[in-house]
Amino acid sequence: MKDTTQSRIAVQDIRSQFPILTQKVNGRDLIYFDNAATSQKPLIVIDKIKNYYEKENANIHRGVHSLSQEATTAYEQARQKISSYLNAKSDSEIIFTKGTTDGINLIASSFGELLSPGDEIIISAMEHHSNIVPWQLLESRKKIKLKVVPIHKSGEIDLNAFEKLLNEKTKLVSITHISNSLGIINPINEIIRKSHLVGAKVLIDGAQSIQHEKIDLQELNCDFFVFSGHKVYGPTGVGVLYGKSELLNIMPPYQGGGDMIEKVSFEKTTFNVLPFKFEAGTPNIVGGIALGTAFDFIDSLNFEQCQVHELELLRYAEAQLNAIPTIKIFGTSKNKTSVISFNVGDIHPFDIGTLLDKQGVAVRTGHHCTQPIMDFYQIPGTIRVSFSIYNTKGEIDLFVAALNKSIQILS
């Protein structure tokens, strides 16, 4: 496919590192526009996983034998790499999890134990279900109060309403950095600063920002930050929870088991230090190691130029979609990442998605795990296209042609 983008990244070089992009789907060249659901994996990550199982596999933190020590070193080096990429104060603030959902559940369970009846937690109306349901479970368990910041029609968060909800009872504000269904970037610096003024801690759901924004935890000053490996060129089943050590240290363990203990007896069990206190049982070892490799891949990119490229794709696609009269785009903020949610007249999103798939275009349709947003707009769902660094304007042209053809068939 011809590369016609303006940004100074070599898209074809990047594409050549992602083997799946040469796949045919339903006899057509794959056009993968479902990057907000999961990113594709570069060869260096795939090779790392294969190589690990062929040559390095052993359990970690346990054996005296060489393989076990090498695996332990590789796993801990991945932790260090991620810690320095995010600019954490200490490697021990980086907890390996199964992903974003697991990270939020860990905080709800453990930080949640420190809360008392009447304490308040604030989330927003644009959260992923994984940043809603764990707090609802905590609400019934600990008799805390969950409050929801509304959004404007544009999809942007209502900051005035947020300030009104904040008070000295607010113990945690848990908010997504970027909306997975609308692509809107939240003003998290302001949200973090205002929350801290009333003494509330802040959890940032970084599932959609880690791959699009440069994260500096010292600059952000959030108390917790969670993301999934699979959305940032890494494998599924692994993710990261960052927490400030002074908080993680006073939080009780989430799960009990091997590795998280210092000493076990039937009289008294004591717990391991951070990060191991929160990593019970044999972890996803190869996942952690390969997630480190995913950050090597990111380091090999010109990140700023990749951002320019993704924004060019966004503007290019928006312009083409806006030219189709029956199309309505949801989430119209200027402050967006490369995600577009839209509907076509009253055609069901699922029907469009099915016809696009027949033409080799992978998009997401439905509520995107954000049913409250769909209720807000009074729609059953949307069609969502989400672009990554390896996508091209040429692919957008083919997608728009396939979309027009689908609209013709369905109208």
Q: Which stretch binds ligand PLP (CB under 6 A): 12-20, 204-212, 265-273, 279-287?
A: 204-212
| 82-85 contact pairs (CB < 8 A, 24+) | 82/240, 82/291, 82/292, 82/295, 85/215, 85/295, 85/298, 85/299
Shortest approach of ligand PLP to residue 258 CB, angstroms? 24
Rule CB under 6 A: is residue 99 a binding residue for ligand PLP?
yes
Toward ligand PLP, which CB reaches closer, 9 or 203?
A: 203
Please tell me which residue in 369, 400, 407, 410 is annotated as part of the active site. Answer: 369
Please state, in angstroms and rounded to a whole number, the distance separating the CA atoms of residues 58 and 81. 21
Interaction between residue 207 and ligand PLP (CB under 6 A): yes
Among 17, 92, 186, 208, binds ligand PLP (CB under 6 A): 208
Q: At 373, phi and psi to the nearest 5? A: -65, -40
Binding to ligand PLP in span 57-96, by CB under 6 A: none
CA distance 286 to 304: 29
In angstroms, rounded to a whole number, what is the distance separating the alpha carbons of residues 385 and 321?
Answer: 11
Binding region for ligand PLP (CB under 6 A) out of 111-119, 124-132, 275-283, 298-306:
124-132
One residue of 48, 128, 309, 393 binding ligand PLP per CB under 6 A: 128
Interacting residue with ligand PLP among 228, 272, 338, 343 (CB under 6 A): 228
Shortest distance in whole angstroms from residue 206 CB to ligand PLP: 8
Stretch that binds ligand PLP, among 126-134, 160-168, 283-291, 341-349 (CB under 6 A): 126-134
Alpha-carbon separation of residue 343 from 9, 76, 244, 346 (angstroms): 31, 45, 41, 8
Among the listed ranges 125-133, 240-248, 284-292, 303-311, the one in contact with ligand PLP (CB under 6 A) is 125-133
255 vs 253: CA distance, rounded Å: 6
237 versus 353: smaller Cβ distance to ligand PLP: 237
Q: Does 100 bind ligand PLP (CB under 6 A)?
A: yes
Residue 170 binding ligand PLP, by CB under 6 A: no
Sign of CA dihedral 280, 282, 285, 286: negative
Task: Characterize the bridge pairing of strands 201-205 and 145-149.
Answer: unpaired
Instruction: Give the side-chain half-sphere CA count within 13 A for 290.
Output: 30
Considering the rule CB under 6 A, would residue 284 count as an interface residue with ligand PLP? Answer: no
CB closer to ligand PLP, 205 vs 395 = 205
Active site residue 306: no
* Beta strand residue intervals within 282-338, DSSP E: 327-330
Instruction: Tally the C-alpha atoms within 13 A of residue 341's C-alpha that lie toward its C-beta.
Output: 27
Q: Is 391 in the site for ligand PLP (CB under 6 A)?
A: no
Say whether 36 sits in a helix, a strand or coil.
coil
**Cα separation, 283 vs 292, whole angstroms:** 15
Residue 349 vs 360, nearer CB to ligand PLP: 349
Name the segment binding ligand PLP (CB under 6 A); options: 108-116, 203-211, 385-393, 401-409: 203-211
Closest separation in Å from C-beta 384 to ligand PLP: 11
**Minimum distance from residue 298 beta carbon to ligand PLP (Å):** 18
**CB-CB contact of 237 with 99 (8 Å):** yes
Shortest distance, position 36 Cβ to ligand PLP, whole Å = 6
What is the SS3 assignment for 134?
A: helix
Q: Is 39 in the site for ligand PLP (CB under 6 A)?
A: no
- Residue 150 or residue 258: which is nearer to ligand PLP going by CB? 150
Query: Are the C-beta atoms of 19 and 46 separated by less than 8 Å?
Result: yes
Could you tell me the two tokens for 199? 């003494």
User: Counting contacts by CB under 6 A, is residue 101 touching ligand PLP?
Assistant: yes
- Give how many residues touch ligand PLP by CB under 6 A: 12
| Both structure tokens of 142 | 């600990």
Bond before 252 cis per omega within 30 degrees? no
Strand order in the sheet with 327-330: 327-330, 339-344, 382-386, 364-366
- Find the binder of ligand PLP among 105, 180, 195, 307 (CB under 6 A): 180
Nearest approach in angstroms of CB 394 to ligand PLP is 27
Matching residue, tokens 């996942």: 287
Binding footprint of ligand PLP on the chain (CB under 6 A): 99-101, 128, 130-131, 176, 180, 205, 207-208, 228
Active site residues: 369
